[in-house]
């Protein structure tokens, strides 16, 4: 393939010597077996990373524990200054990191750049937040007393991230955790390990330049067994895990067994409701990007299009026509719309979904297939597919992490569409396309969408930094990023101060000597 500046990007990110197994970043504690990172773009080896052994993990945790003692005592605005410097480094290395994300994960270069921009945005948000970690005051029932609440850092935050957003989700967590006074240990996906090392290299520069302990940011690499080091570790009060619902249930059970806290961002089975009053052009744009962006490998990807029977054929024809214009190929080529799936296992899931929807009585509208030939040597490129189906189909109830869109028909009013939308186990993102104010308000009402994200006249895919991100039901209930999501990274403390010479007891109890 044409290089598209990959080698230069690797050099910029400090990944020039990655053929024999790089360390896990600034801590240099990695000594286990080697993970080989293959690009889904062309199937070539990008580099190798050593996995973390139990002994390595102990050293990472020791460094993190010691670093927390220093970091928690720094004023929050000073911690914000470190995050600001990290954001500036990301600006300087945005193009390089965006290319690595695109090449190692397979999403389009523009999406790779967008992911790095999300990192920059959350840093900006966190910097401002570092001067706003507010508590609450309240009146005491006892004369001469003052009560208030304040927040303190938790300690070590464990982060487990997925391959589809190999850098942004880590930043969502760590930027907030850092300004809250926590230190972080991160296990990136074993499918995108080099993105993790690149990020660790960047923050390592900032920490070294400010004479701060390297244990403020730790990195461990490996499969689920390495993740279990954190989920079972009582020294980690909070584990933030992003991935499948299956994985999240395991993490939640393990962490809860030691009375730790979990922040879970799990699967989505997201729908767009299309009413008779929808703008068809806007609907097509939102549905197509939501369904094929990142090759359908976003937790917010559009899986279901719930269309009113009166406009069903119009919307169906428009979406099918749009699919004919999709260009599938190397994601670093900005002329292409759709890149590869992450690996051949993902391809098998895609093929299985298309087989099952037909077996259950569905109808393939846009045929899917695995692409072969020049430019598709990795075996990970597939054609986005569309199938007519029913909401109760088992495969429709399941989240398939691939570009498969199901068309579902509803009749009657919007309450019927909402019943279909909410009739799945997941509750992440949702949308309605309508110019009818009553339908929009019904969608957003207490009896409307049961998802953590509910949009009107935009698609399901994507989110702004300023709002809390997350979903309900089997999506896990966690919230990351904006709003008051920072509170999950801190412990709440209620304080009472007596500034008198008496000690009155609550509820008027007498206990005199």
Q: Which of 39, 34, 36 is nearest to 6 (CA)?
A: 39
Q: What is the secondary structure of 329-361 as a DSSP string?
A: S-TTSTT-SB---SSHHHHHHHHHHHHHHHHTT
Token readout for 271 is 């729908």
Token readout for 36 is 């080989």
Phi and psi (nearest 5°) for 464? -90, 150
For residue 15, is it left (φ>0), alpha (ψ between -120 and 50) or beta? alpha
Phi and psi (nearest 5°) for 149? -115, 145
Token readout for 220 is 């461990």
Say how far apart CA 388 and CA 258 lie, in whole Å: 46
Task: Name residue 201's beta-bridge partners.
Answer: none
Catalytic residue (choose from 299, 399, 439, 474) = 299
Q: Which of 25, 185, 154 is nearest to 487 (CA)?
A: 154
Catalytic residue (choose from 265, 439, 474, 480) = 265
Task: Decide if 265 is catalytic.
Answer: yes
Q: What are the C-alpha distances in Å from 488 to residues 176, 238, 468, 481?
A: 10, 8, 12, 11
Task: Name residue 236's beta-bridge partners.
Answer: none
Which strands form 145-153's sheet, in the order they lie side by side? 136-139, 145-153, 490-498
Say how far apart CA 499 and CA 16 lie, in whole Å: 62
Query: Which positions ≥6 away from 460 have C-beta within 8 Å?
Result: 268, 270, 271, 272, 286, 290, 300, 301, 302, 429, 430, 431, 453
Say how far apart CA 494 and CA 146 lie, in whole Å: 11
Active site residues: 265, 299
């Amino acid at each position: 393939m044409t290089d598209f500046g990959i080698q230069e990007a690797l050099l910029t990110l400090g990944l020039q010597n990655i053929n024999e197994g790089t360390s896990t970043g600034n801590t240099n504690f990695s000594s286990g077996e080697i993970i080989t990172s293959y690009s889904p773009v062309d199937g070539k080896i990008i580099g190798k990373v050593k996995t973390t052994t139990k002994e390595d993990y102990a050293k990472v945790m020791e460094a993190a524990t010691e670093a927390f003692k220093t970091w928690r005592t720094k004023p929050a605005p000073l911690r914000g200054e470190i995050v600001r410097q990290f954001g500036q480094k990301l600006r300087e290395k945005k193009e390089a990191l965006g290319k690595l994300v695109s090449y190692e994960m397979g999403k389009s270069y523009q999406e790779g750049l967008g992911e790095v921009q999300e990192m920059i945005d959350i840093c900006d948000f966190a910097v401002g937040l570092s001067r706003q970690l507010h508590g609450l005051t309240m009146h005491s029932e006892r004369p001469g007393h003052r009560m208030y609440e304040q927040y303190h850092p938790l300690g070590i935050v464990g982060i487990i991230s997925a391959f589809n957003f190999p850098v942004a989700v880590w930043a969502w967590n760590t930027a907030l955790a850092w300004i809250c006074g926590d230190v972080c240990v991160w296990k990136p996906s074993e499918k995108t390990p080099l993105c993790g090392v690149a990020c660790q290299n960047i923050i390592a520069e900032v920490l070294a330049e400010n004479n701060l302990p390297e244990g403020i940011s730790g990195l461990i690499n490996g499969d689920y067994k390495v993740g279990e080091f954190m989920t079972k570790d009582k020294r980690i009060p909070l584990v933030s895990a992003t991935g499948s619902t299956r994985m999240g249930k395991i993490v939640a059970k393990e962490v809860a067994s030691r009375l730790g806290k979990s922040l879970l961002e799990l699967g989505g089975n997201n729908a767009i409701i299309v009413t008779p009053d929808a703008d068809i052009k806007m609907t097509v744009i939102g549905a197509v990007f939501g369904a094929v962006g990142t090759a359908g490998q976003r937790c917010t990807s559009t899986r279901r299009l719930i269309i009113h029977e009166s406009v069903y054929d119009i919307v169906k024809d428009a979406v099918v026509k749009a699919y004919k214009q999709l260009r599938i190929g190397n994601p670093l080529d900005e002329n292409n719309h759709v890149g590869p799936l992450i690996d051949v296992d993902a391809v098998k899931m895609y093929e299985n979904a298309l087989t099952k929807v037909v077996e259950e009585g569905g109808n393939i509208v846009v045929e899917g297939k695995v692409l072969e030939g020049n430019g598709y040597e990795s075996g990970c490129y597939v054609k986005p597919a569309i199938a007519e189906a029913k909401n109760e189909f088992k495969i429709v109830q399941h989240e398939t992490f691939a570009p498969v869109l199901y068309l579902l028909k509803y009749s009657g009013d919007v309450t019927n569409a909402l019943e279909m939308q909410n009739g799945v186990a997941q509750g992440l993102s949702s949308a309605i396309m309508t110019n009818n104010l009553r339908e929009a308000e019904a969608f957003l009402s207490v009896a409307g969408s049961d998802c953590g994200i509910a949009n009107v006249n935009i698609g399901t895919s994507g989110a702004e930094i300023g709002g809390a991100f997350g979903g309900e039901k089997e999506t896990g209930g966690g919230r990351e990023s904006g709003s008051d999501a920072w509170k999950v990274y801190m412990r709440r403390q209620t304080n009472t101060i007596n500034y008198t010479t008496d000690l009155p007891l609550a509820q008027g109890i007498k206990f005199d000597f």
